[in-house]
Structure 1
Amino acid sequence: MLEFRQVHKAYATPQGPLEVLAGVDLTLDAGESLALMGESGSGKSTLLHLAAGLDLPDRGEVRVAGHAISSLGEASRARLRRETLGLVFQQFHLVPSLSVFDNLRLQARLAGREQADWTNELLERLGLAALARRYPEQLSGGQQQRLAIGRALAPRPALLLADEPTGNLDEGTADEVLDLLLTLVRDTGCALLMVTHSPRVAAPLDRRLHLTHGRLTRPEVGQDACP
């Protein structure tokens, strides 16, 4: 579903090029969940942006659902995001002028895959059915993040990319949102790549990798080691 082959990415700085990714290799299969960990500034979000086709590698290849991202034009990458990917960010990015219900079905409509039964089921499972006509500003932070997750999953994407999806929530609310996210991912069968700095948040996922000095490694034994 997602493959990185010797991916390099650098950014210009006053001191010269800063290499963020230095030959990253990564494979994520359909239905698999992977936590990408690392310190702030380690390049986790850069890797996620490359996976989403929001940025392009300097060298190497990124493939999503068999498509080489670098060979696609901007319009084709946008279509791939609409039809294949779901995106969840630390900031909710909800449309303030749309109700809960209309925010939820927005992505599915853009992808041409709106299904009324699935939208209504999501409302129930998100715990938002009674709030369907409210607007985002009338929701708590946890409710807004649940809505953002539901919107990303409404078109049943093949791959969900999540960047610190519980980072703005208190621990109790974060646990509830994470449990809901993983349950919905499992039930829809999509693959999940989640960026997090928290071993506790990463622990329930199938695999965990650390990004350090531009390269991916497994966590050390005793520090959230992979099984």
Structure 2
Amino acid sequence: MLEFRQVHKAYATPQGPLKVLDGVDLSLNAGESLALMGESGCGKSTLLHLAAGLDLPDRGEVRLADRVISSLGEADRARLRRETLGLVFQQFHLVPSLCVLDNLRLQARLAGRERPNWTAELIERLGLAGLEKRYPEQLSGGQQQRLAIGRALAPRPALLLADEPTGNLDESTADQVLELLLALVRDTGCALLMVTHSPRVAAPLDRRLQLSHGRIG
């Protein structure tokens, strides 16, 4: 589903190039869950952006669903994201002008895969029944994150990329959101790559890898 082959990435700074990824190899199979761990600033989010085709490697190859991302133009990368990926971030990135139901439907509609029965099931499982007409600002942090997870999974993507998805929540709410996320991932059969610095959050996933000094150990 996802493969990194000797991926290098650096960014220009006034002090010279800042090496972020230094020959990263990584693979994730369909239906598998993987936690990518490491300290803040170690390159975890950069790796996730490369996996989504939001950025491109300086050297090496990123393959998503058997396609080499760097060989695609911007429009084709956007289409591949829309058709293949679900994205969940630490910041919820909900559309403030859309109600709960329309936020939930958004990604599935863009992918052309809206399924009313699945949307109704998500509303129930997300604990948002009765709140369909509310707007994001009228929800708690936990409700907003559950909605963001539901939106990402509404089109039943092949791969879910999650960047510290419980980082803005208190521990109790974070545990509830993580349990829901993993249950929905399992039931949809999608693969999961989650970035986290927390061993507790990483523990339930199938595999755990550590990113340090630009390399996976």
Instruction: Report the TM-score range of the alignment, normalised by the length of the smaller protein.
Output: over 0.9
User: 1:166: Cα distance to partner?
Assistant: 0.2
Equivalence for 2:94: 94
User: Which range moved further: 138-147 or 127-136?
Assistant: 127-136
User: 1:4: Cα distance to partner?
Assistant: 0.1
Aligned residues: 217
User: 1:206: Cα distance to partner?
Assistant: 0.4
2: CA distance between counterparts of 1:98 and 1:7?
38
The amino acid across from 2:93 in the alignment is H
Equivalence for 1:140: 140
Equivalence for 1:85: 85
The amino acid across from 1:168 in the alignment is N
2: CA distance between counterparts of 1:55 and 1:129?
37
User: 1:134: Cα distance to partner?
Assistant: 0.6
2: CA distance between counterparts of 1:130 and 1:178?
22
Does residue 1:129 correspond to 2:129, yes or no? yes
The amino acid across from 2:151 in the alignment is R
1: CA distance between counterparts of 2:67 and 2:191?
16
1:180-219 equivalent positions in 2, closer than 5 A = 180-217=180-217
2: CA distance between counterparts of 1:66 and 1:130?
41
Equivalence for 2:160: 160
Give a deviation string over 1:93-124, Cα, whole Å, max 9, x none: 00111110000010000000000000000000
1: CA distance between counterparts of 2:105 and 2:157?
13
Does residue 1:37 correspond to 2:37, yes or no? yes
The amino acid across from 1:90 in the alignment is Q
User: 1:11: Cα distance to partner?
Assistant: 0.5
Equivalence for 1:75: 75
User: 1:130: Cα distance to partner?
Assistant: 1.2
The amino acid across from 1:88 in the alignment is V
User: 1:28: Cα distance to partner?
Assistant: 0.1
Equivalence for 2:174: 174
2: CA distance between counterparts of 1:93 and 1:110?
16
Q: 2:145 aligns to what SS in structure 1?
A: helix
Give a deviation string over 1:39-59, Cα, whole Å, max 9, x none: 110000000000000000000
Give a deviation string over 1:134-192, Cα, whole Å, max 9, x none: 11011000000000000000000000000000000000000000000000000000000
Give a deviation string over 1:28-83, Cα, whole Å, max 9, x none: 00000000010110000000000000000000000000010000000000001111
Does residue 1:51 correspond to 2:51, yes or no? yes
User: 1:15: Cα distance to partner?
Assistant: 1.3
User: Which aligned segments of 4 or more residues in structure 1 are displaced greater than 4 angstroms?
Assistant: none
1: CA distance between counterparts of 2:196 and 2:51?
16
Q: 1:106 aligns to what SS in structure 2?
A: helix
Equivalence for 1:25: 25
Cα RMSD after superposing both structures: 0.4
Equivalence for 1:221: none
Equivalence for 1:14: 14
Tell me the TM-score normalised to structure 1 length: 0.95
Tell me the TM-score normalised to structure 2 length: 0.99
Unpaired segments ≥5 residues, structure 2: none
User: Which range moved further: 11-20 or 187-196?
Assistant: 11-20
